[in-house]
Amino acid sequence: MASLISIHVAVCCISLICVVYLNPAYHVQFNSSRLLLPIATVAALAPVGLLFTLAEFSFGYFVGFYFFGMVAGYLWGNFFSGFYYNHQLSGLSAAASALAFLLPALFITSPIRQVWVMSPRALDRLLTFILVLALATVASAASYNFRFVSMRDIYDFRGEINFPAALNYLLTITSSALLPFAFACYVTRKDPWRAGAVLLLLVFYYPVTLSKVAMFTPAWLLIIALLSRRYEPRLSAILSMLGPLVLGLILFSLYEGGVLTYAAAIPYFETVNFRMVAVPSIGLDFYSDFFSNHETTNFCQLRLLKALISCPYNHQLSVEIFNEYQVGGNFNASLFATEGIASVGTLFAPVAVFVCGLVIALANRLSAGLPPRFILLSGAILAQILLNVPLTITLLTHGAALMFLLWYVTPRTMFEQDAGKPIVPAH
């Protein structure tokens, strides 16, 4: 475990070097003569990584490991940033925020007594309802937009899509929370046909929404299912990020060596190593710079608070960041950047992030008693979304709060046999 976590941190740093080599507009310029201090700083984060060897698997473990890699990447890139904010303070704040998040997210896992539990029959009906609702949602959305285009061309068409607000919510909630929940139920209960039906249904979300998340969701769920079949959940969580990163680096190396063409290697590298992993780290750099010379939001980006308090910004934060730097499209970012840096500033960001960690700890408590593999599968998409989307938006718009509720009321008796058997590597 410790060795894999160390390798993961090193791979994140190497991957970031390759990413900015292909994307120099992101204000990070690496200098090979200045590597000693960045290496020492990232290595100093190692004791925090050891927490993952001590904690049991939970949703907080899954999310926390992804955030750990994000912060390690930021600490590495922080030394080569082209911005002129206080990098020492921001680096210390990021490291403190990582620790503040991980302590509750990893170690607060005690169960909350179930006041009400669904019967097995009610759960079966719920799963059928989820499939019908998702099918109706996709069919309705297809009447507004349905086209197969390459990921390189989605921005040429996505601006033309205009769904009603209710349909937008249904698309994100069903694809991020409800269908992954149904998939986890069917996989854990060894019902491959219905699990396959869920994946097939998710395939049609991409031509409707032209979203990169929708594009990789079916494949991501399948990868997590295969990993968790062979390895125990903690190892599966680590390999789910490390494996795709290593593959991206191999493809990048083959491209640089002239073995593969750009079309064969770089689209995968740009999707996984850049968009999925590097952008959350780079986002911390952009938000740190922006809010070093702009007023913090004091959480006014939340719609409920925006109506009650004055807000210095008229647009969403992602739009404000893009308008300022004109790079990378709308720059959504994780809770470390939004609920943390943007809302209360660099100095107090660890406090806000700690509160977010308590929210994830509540999810741990609501899911306690469920099979770890079930939590891993059902939370696989939400863990990815949290890397690029604020916690508050993930809770409501992407259905995380609904997922936490479903975990709480799911009958544990349906999974007792699976929950009692640890998954071991196949020989």
DSSP characters for 46-81? HHHHTHHHHSPP-HHHHHHHHHHHHHHHHHHHHTTB
Residue 15: per-residue pLDDT: 94
Tens-digit pLDDT profile for residues 324-361: 888 766 778 899 999 999 999 999 999 999 999 999 99
Residue 418: per-residue pLDDT: 44
What CA–CA distance (Å, rounded) separates 216 from 414? 30
- Judged by phi (left if over 0) then psi (alpha if -120 to 50, else beta), residue 161 lies in beta
**Residues near 421 by Cβ (< 8 Å), separated by ≥ 6?**
none
Angle between helices 349-367 and 87-107 (to 10 degrees): 20
Beta-bridge mates of residue 81: 28
Residue 424: per-residue pLDDT: 40
Helices (H), 143-261: 154-158, 165-173, 179-188, 192-203, 205-209, 212-230, 233-256
Residue 419: per-residue pLDDT: 40
**Residues near 262 by Cβ (< 8 Å), separated by ≥ 6?**
255
Residue 416: per-residue pLDDT: 64
Amino acid letter for position 72: A
> Counting Cβ atoms within 10 Å, is residue 257 exposed (0-12), middle (13-18) or buried (19+)?
exposed
Helix (H) or strand (E) holding 274: none
Lookup result for tokens 């064969």:
264
Alpha-carbon separation of residue 52 from 1, 55, 73, 395 (angstroms): 8, 5, 17, 24
Residue 87: per-residue pLDDT: 94
**Residues near 403 by Cβ (< 8 Å), separated by ≥ 6?**
177, 180, 181, 363, 378, 379, 382
Tokens of 141: 């959305």
Residues of the chain below pLDDT 70: 151, 153, 155-156, 307, 328-329, 416-427
What CA–CA distance (Å, rounded) separates 118 from 124? 10
Quick one: which of 328, 226, 214 has its CA closest to 278? Answer: 328
